[in-house]
């Protein structure tokens, strides 16, 4: 019985945990490596196990850094089932097909360069195709929150609401072997409490072995009320000087949260009645999926929907699905808000808006989510005065750059510690993953101080015996605390 960390170890991308048990082999998540710090070939690496022997993938949520390699897994011989929540299954249909389309576009671009330079060897191929993604989606099976499902003799799972995005889950896994039952808890990505639209995280019952994310393990978010007030002030300052507010936002979760606040501001007359452009086909489709899953909403959101005050439909909202509609936004000179993907500026239509707005001093580029190391968003946020958006193009950054961490869909340090305290009290060992090294180590130290249990920050490819997990621990770089 072994647990191996194949991704998201001392980094915030590529989540993948492999479990080899007497009952089966399975993964928790199968995520894509994102960001320029990760070579493109990293997503083509060998999985490190016999894919054909894999029985299941337990999927915590739909974000590509957790789900994005599922189509490749299928092309490599996976014939098992992907088990997840109903809302995550719906979102994955949208996101994996979009990811496949981007893979095909990247391969076509690389092929042009390959032909132009007359390179030898096989031509570049997409990591996976749209057809591969469609084939993968046929393996999805849905399990509602809080329902225990037996996958095999000696192996059961249960999904608990993680409050991160629509359908996101923490996963409880019960494994029986050699006459002993071990309970593992995987946090997935945990949401921040008291945020609008979806419910707060629902901590599982305590486990023997806990694997927790640590994205904001060394930081605190501003209170919701403070974030709302700051957002309002940023909007007012920009609109007063005649500028436009450009918001890179993840299509799933962040776009809907931003719309929630903007709808309130406009309805209450707290900002001028300006147009709000949503320029992301994926965000538009994702919002439709949100409408189909009110079972994930908190009570306040359900009341808004019942009263006809949906934040996903208000007079000032302008939906831009076509490329032509997207281009037309650039001709709009009056104050407005433009929301576009991707949230870290690594692709999508947001790059075209940055090309037009970075040089404009009266405009504001407002980040509302985490910017991973190596991404274009992170370079701008770190103060770069010149950036490359498309190959061969350098652009000056003259606009105002702002950051609101309070919109984050991730729990902050205090919320992570509270969750771990409920789940990990009495655990044999707690692993901190899915965080940059500094954040993971800081959270590990906080957990040790609170609970007094062994805490470990694994390196990539670290492997542990689930029956005796402490036996594999050794001090390295202050990892064991």
pLDDT of residue 477: 53
- For residue 56, the SS3 value is strand
Backbone phi, then psi, for 388, in 5-degree steps?
A: -100, 125
In 284-299, which positions are buried (b, 16+ CB within 10 angstroms) versus exposed (e)? bbbbebbeebeebbee
Residues of the chain with pLDDT > 90, as a percent, come to 80
**Given this model, what pLDDT does residue 195 score?**
86
- Other C-beta atoms closer than 10 Å to the C-beta of 107 total 17
The pLDDT tens digits for 256-308 are: 999 999 999 999 999 999 999 999 999 999 999 999 999 999 999 999 999 99
Q: Which helix (H) or strand (E) holds 395?
A: strand 394-396
What is the mean predicted confidence (pLDDT) over 337-349? 91
Least confident interval from 73-77, 108-112, 167-171: 108-112
Supply the pLDDT for residue 35. Answer: 67
CA-based nearest residue to 292, from 8, 89, 478, 77: 89
pLDDT: which is higher, 77 or 473: 77
* Cα atoms in the Cβ-side hemisphere of radius 13 Å centred on 174: 17
Q: Give the pLDDT confidence score for residue 369 in this predicted structure.
A: 85
Distance CA 352, CA 333 (A): 16
Contact yes or no for 243/363 (Cβ under 8 A): yes
Q: Where are the beta strands (DSSP E) in 223-273?
A: 245-248
Partners of 160 in the β-ladder: 170
This prediction has a pTM of 0.89
392 vs 17: which has the higher pLDDT: 17
**Is it the case that residue 120 has pLDDT exceeding 80?**
no
Bridge partners, residue 367, by sequence: 403
Q: Does position 475 have pLDDT exceeding 70, yes or no?
A: no
Owner of token pair 């993971």: 440
pLDDT at 476: 57
Token look-up 């692993």 returns: 431
| Distance between CA atoms of residues 203 and 389, nearest Å | 41
Sorted by sequence, the CB contacts under 8 Å of residue 453 that are 6+ apart come out as 424, 425, 426, 427, 428, 429, 430, 447
Ordered domains of the chain (ranges, CATH)? 2-219+418-472 (3.60.15.10), 224-407 (3.40.50.10890)
């Amino acid at each position: 019985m072994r647990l191996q960390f194949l991704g998201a170890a001392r980094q915030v991308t590529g989540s993948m945990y492999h479990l080899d048990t007497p009952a089966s082999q399975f993964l928790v998540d199968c995520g894509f490596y994102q960001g320029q710090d990760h070579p493109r070939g990293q997503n083509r690496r060998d999985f490190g196990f016999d894919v054909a022997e894999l029985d299941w993938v337990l999927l915590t949520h739909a974000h590509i850094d957790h789900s994005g390699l599922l189509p490749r897994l299928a092309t490599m011989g996976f014939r098992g089932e992907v088990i997840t929540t109903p809302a995550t299954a719906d979102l994955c249909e949208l996101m994996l097909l979009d990811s496949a389309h981007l893979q095909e576009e990247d391969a076509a671009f690389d092929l042009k360069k390959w032909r132009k330079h007359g390179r030898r060897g096989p031509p570049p191929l997409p990591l996976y195709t749209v057809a591969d993604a469609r084939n993968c989606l046929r393996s999805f099976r849905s399990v509602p929150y809080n329902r225990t499902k037996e996958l095999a003799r000696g192996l059961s799972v249960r999904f608990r609401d993680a409050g991160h995005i629509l359908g996101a889950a923490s996963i409880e896994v019960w494994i029986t072997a050699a006459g002993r039952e071990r309970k593992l808890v995987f946090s997935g990505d945990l949401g921040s409490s008291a945020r609008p639209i979806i419910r707060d995280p629902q901590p599982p019952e305590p486990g023997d072995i806990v694997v927790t994310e640590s994205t904001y393990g060394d930081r605190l978010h501003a209170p919701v009320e403070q974030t709302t007030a700051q957002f309002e002030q940023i909007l007012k300052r920009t609109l007063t000087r005649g500028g436009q507010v450009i918001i890179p936002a993840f299509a799933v979760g962040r776009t809907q949260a931003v719309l929630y606040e903007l709808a309130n501001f406009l309805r209450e007359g707290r900002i001028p009645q300006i147009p709000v452009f949503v320029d992301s086909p994926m965000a538009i489709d994702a919002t439709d999926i949100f409408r189909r899953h009110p079972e994930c909403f908190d009570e306040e959101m359900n009341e808004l929907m019942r009263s006809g005050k949906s934040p996903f439909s208000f007079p000032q909202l302008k939906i831009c699905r076509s490329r032509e509609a997207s281009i037309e936004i650039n001709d709009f000179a009056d104050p407005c808000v433009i929301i576009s993907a991707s949230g870290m500026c690594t692709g999508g239509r947001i790059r075209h808006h940055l090309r037009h707005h970075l040089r404009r001093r009266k405009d504001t580029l407002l980040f509302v989510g985490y910017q991973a190391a190596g991404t274009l968003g992170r370079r701008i946020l770190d103060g770069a005065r010149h950036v490359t958006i498309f190959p061969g193009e350098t652009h000056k950054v003259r606009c105002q750059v702002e950051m609101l961490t309070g919109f984050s869909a991730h729990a902050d340090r205090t919320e992570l510690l509270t969750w771990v305290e409920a789940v990990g009290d009495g655990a044999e060992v707690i692993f901190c993953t899915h965080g940059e090294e500094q954040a993971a180590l800081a959270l590990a130290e906080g957990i040790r101080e609170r609970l007094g249990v062994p805490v470990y920050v694994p390196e990539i490819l670290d492997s542990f015996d689930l029956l005796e997990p402490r036996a594999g621990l050794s001090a390295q770089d202050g990892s064991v605390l």
